[in-house]
Structure 1
Amino acid sequence: MAFRGPKVWLWRWRRNPLRRPADKVEAWVVLASWTVGVLAGLLVGLTTARTVEHSLDRERAEWRPAAARLTGAAPGRADDRPEDAGEQVWAEVAWTAPDGTRRTGEVRVDPGTRAGTQVTVWTDDRGRLVGRPVDAAQARLQSTLAGILGGLSAAAVPLVAGRAVRRRLEERRLDLWDLHWARFDPLWRGRTG
């Protein structure tokens, strides 16, 4: 186990006669990648959250419930399924769009539902079938999660790029070390034995 002394904060920025130019470059790379990563993460995260929440708010405002009737009996029998299963099947329904046209589509209903049974469907402003819109609490949760995911993804790009630059600097330092060691090793070989 290697001995490590006390952690020195901002050691890359302190004056030191042994600090190489590559150490200075690495210090700037670390600072730049973290600064850009944090700023990009915040900006993208907030923008994504706001966009998702606005979209879900618009859906809640524009999507409306409509009364529809099953055009045929739903497949299966109602007594075949256990009460707690919550299993539903697809069945065709018909409804009237806001422009007065008759529309048909498929929705999920309980097995064995009879033809002509009224069900509630959700439609957009053009009368097309859509899913039930999320409520305000669900919209906040979804937008928050989308913002966090977008922010972390955006922050990862400069951090990974900074790490790649630092790895290349380390490889360069090791190559220089090998070069210098090859030059001076023959001179020391006779003095260390």
Structure 2
Amino acid sequence: MARTRGERLRGGRLWRWRRNPLRRRGDLAEGWLLLAAFVLAPLLGVFSGVTAAGAVEESLAERRERIRPVPAVLAEDAPRTPPAPVTEEGDGGGDGAVRAKVRWTAPDGTGRTGRARVEPGSAAGTVLSVWTDPSGRLAPAPPEGAEAGFQVVMAGITAAGAAGGAVLLGGRLVRARMRRRRLAEWEAEWRRVEPSWRKRMTG
């Protein structure tokens, strides 16, 4: 009875574990290598992903503790038209905000001025909140809610994929080296037995 495709695939994968006269130590080592790679890749991926996500979440929590909102006063009329989004951190952002000059008081009591993101068309003298670091300098607002969750999840996925991929890639490289070595051994053995085969063929 003909074997199904699945049975043939399983037999092809498991031949290294079966005792047969053609199996070499390198074949068994390659089998253990494949098993280790397929077991370690998901385990290390999950561990790295959870660790990275936890690190990002902790970093965001520390950032929320370091910076705080303080009252500020708009020192000029804000532009009515938002600029085109740009990539520089703290500018643009696609949320419709504009940048304008504001005044606030630092923790040491000194007055500070700087440019912060405000609602378009806000009039000078408008009271608003800005985020500052412990030294009283303006700082970007910490991500909250869905944005913070997205950063945590993406950090975990990226780390998991990188770690798992590195294990699989390393396994493939080692396997390729083992195969080259096995082919070299076969070629050397064939050179030893070829003369006797020729004598039998011509005898």
In structure 1, distance between residues paired with 2:186 and 2:20: 19
Aligned pairs for 1:99-110 (under 5 A) are: 99-109=108-118
Aligned position for 2:154: 145
* Alignment check: 8 A CA contact 1:63 1:124 kept: yes
Kindly provide the CA deviation profile for residues 25-84 of structure 1, in whole angstroms up to 9, marking residues without a partner as x.
Answer: 11222233333333322222111111211222333345332222233344x5x2798xxx
> Whole-Å Cα distance in 2 between the matches of residues 27 and 94 of structure 1?
68
**Could you tell me which amino acid in structure 1 is paired with residue 111 of structure 2?**
R
Q: Equivalences for 1:90-105 in 2 at 5 Å? A: 90-105=99-114
Structure 1 residues 158 and 63: CA distance shift in structure 2, 3 A: same
Aligned pairs, number: 185
Q: Is the 8 A contact 2:81 2:98 kept in 1?
A: no
Change (3 A) 1:59 1:191: same
Q: Report if the CA contact (8 A) 2:77-2:121 is conserved.
A: yes
Distance change >3 Å, CA 141–CA 189, structure 1 → 2 = farther
Q: C-alpha displacement at 1:166, in angstroms?
A: 0.3
> Is 2:24 aligned against 1:20?
yes
Tell whether the 8 Å contact from 1:57 to 1:139 is kept in structure 2 after alignment: no
Indicate the residue corresponding to 1:135 in structure 2. Answer: 144
The aligned residue for residue 34 of structure 1 is 38
Runs of 4+ with deviation above 6 angstroms = none
Asked if residue 65 in structure 1 is aligned to residue 69 in structure 2, the reply is yes
Query: Residues 82 and 96 of structure 2 are in contact (CA less than 8 Å); yes or no, is this contact kept in structure 1?
Result: no
Q: Which runs of 5+ in 1 are unaligned?
A: none
| TM-score, normalised by the number of residues in structure 1 | 0.75
Counterpart of 1:55? 59
TM-score under structure 2 length normalisation: 0.72
What's 1:7 paired with?
Answer: 9
1:169 to 167, 178, 181: 178
Q: Following TM superposition, by how much is the alpha carbon of 1:180 offset from its aligned partner in structure 2, in angstroms?
A: 3.8
The one-character-per-residue Cα deviations of 1:166-187 (angstroms, maximum 9, x if unpaired) are 0001111222333344555564
Q: Secondary structure at the match of 1:40?
A: helix
Distance 2:199 2:119 in 1: 87
Does the CA contact (< 8 Å) of 2:74 and 2:103 recur in 1?
yes
2:82–2:97 Cα contact (<8 Å) kept = no
- The structure-2 alpha-carbon separation of the partners of 1:50 and 1:86, relative to structure 1 and needing over 3 Å to count, comes to closer
Deviations along 1:122-148, whole A, 9 cap, x unmatched? 223442222222224433332122112
Letter in 1 for 2:114: G
